[in-house]
Amino acid sequence: MHEFEGYRNKPYKCTAFCWTVGWGHLMYNEQLKLPIVRKDGYTGMIRNEFPLKEEDNRIWSREELEKIFVNDLVSFERGVLRNAPNLVGNQPLFDACVALAFNIGVGGFQRSTLRQRILRNESPESIAEGFMQYVNSGGKVTPGLVRRRKAEVALFLNKS
């Protein structure tokens, strides 16, 4: 995941307009609840307007970001297993699902057709296709996400 997330020791806004630091650590969960754009007369705050807290506007140490990454990883592992308990004993698919959930969120994984395919014990080919449904950002296919999903499929199929 480090390869795809990249590392930044100063907060930045990701492609979903959320404050992020380290290896893709979402800084403020409440920011995800905000709409990306204003629609239908909505006048409240949108994601891009969410302020960075003054105490977070700093250069973070690699040590603290490594701890955050490990904690995030444990949280995503638990979330994936909670939503797809039949992954126990299938380490390659579990690892690929954790990598996907790290990118789309545990809620995204929970709502995914990929999860449904896993729970139904569909064929490896069908499950692999499920990963490739998550290649869009901002409504457009993103080459980086295509590359990332292909790497997750290769991990799942033990072809990495």
Q: What are the pLDDT digits (tens) for 42-90?
A: 999 999 999 999 999 999 999 999 999 999 999 999 999 999 999 999 9
Closest to 82 (Cα-Cα) out of 92, 97, 72: 97
Q: What are the pLDDT digits (tens) for 1-32?
A: 667 778 999 999 988 899 999 998 999 999 98
Q: What are the pLDDT digits (tens) for 116-126?
A: 999 999 999 99
Residue 133 · residue 113 · CB < 8 Å: yes
**Binning pLDDT at 50, 70 and 90, where does residue 159 land?**
low
Q: Which residues pair with 13 in a beta bridge?
A: 19
Top CATH class, 61-160: mainly alpha
Global pTM reads 0.84
Q: Is 157 exposed, middle or buried (0-12, 13-18, 19+ CB in 10 A)?
A: middle
Give the domain ranges of the chain. Answer: 1-60, 61-160
What is the residue whose two structure tokens read 């250069």? Answer: 59
